[in-house]
Structure 1
Amino acid sequence: MEKEEKLAVALKYNPEEEAPKVIAKGKGYLAELILKIAKNHDIPIKRDSKLVKELYKLEIDKPIPPELYKAVAIVLAWAYNLNQKFKEKILKKFFP
């Protein structure tokens, strides 16, 4: 059985726009680079191979289709929650 090549997709959501967008995508080495950049910038990484495969099919900088809204909303809510917890931890550390 052949091993699947790694995929990565980066999302961006601006509440003033109609829907989230794929802003970067790659496979293999490019996927590794996207993940490395995310890690270096403390951007949350959610592993969901089924969703990534669907998002990878989309054009960059175009709104995601309505059928992916729910799945992407769950990921964005997860990332937002992680960021809030991180902010609270930093504030408690420097302003006890």
Structure 2
Amino acid sequence: MAVAVESDPTGAHAPRVVAKGRGAVAEQILRIAFDQGVKVRSDADLAEILAAVEVDSEIPLQALAAVAEILSYVYRAQGRMPPEPARHRSEIRP
């Protein structure tokens, strides 16, 4: 099982599933990730949760903490800072 997740560069939306599959499809997802230099993490439990998410759908609330941890690892490994989360209008101070 392989699941590809993409974060919103603006931080306005939750990360979303962009590809998923088993067997040959999973191998292709991993091959593309490695060829593109995308960091890959093995987590069978999280992959099973994310496999239930439709492609192009946002990550469900129960998986957000785990995905946030992975994305934080990826950003640090790439020497980048994660985007600031979008703030609700009432939280923005002049």
Identify the structure with the greater helix proportion.
1
Match of 1:39 in 2: 34
Shift of 1:67: 1.2
Counterpart of 2:21 in 1: which secondary structure?
A: strand
Instruction: Check if 1:10 corresponds to 2:4.
Output: yes
Higher relative contact order (CA 8 A, sep 6+): 2
Matched residues, number: 79
Counterpart amino acid of 2:57? Answer: K
Deviations 1:22-73 (A, max 9, x none): 0000100000000000000000001001000100111011111111110100
Runs of 4+ with >3 A deviation: none
Counterpart of 2:57 in 1: which secondary structure?
A: coil
Counterpart amino acid of 2:27? Answer: E
Match of 1:72 among 67, 74, 79: 67
Larger Rg: 1
Q: TM-score by structure 1 length?
A: 0.78
Distance 1:16 1:76, change over 3 A: closer
Structure 1's unaligned 5+ residue stretches are: 1-6, 86-96
Structure 2's unaligned 5+ residue stretches are: 81-94
Counterpart of 2:19 in 1: which secondary structure?
A: strand
Identity %: 35
Give me the whole-angstrom Cα distance separating, in 1, the residues matched to 2:42 and 2:19.
16
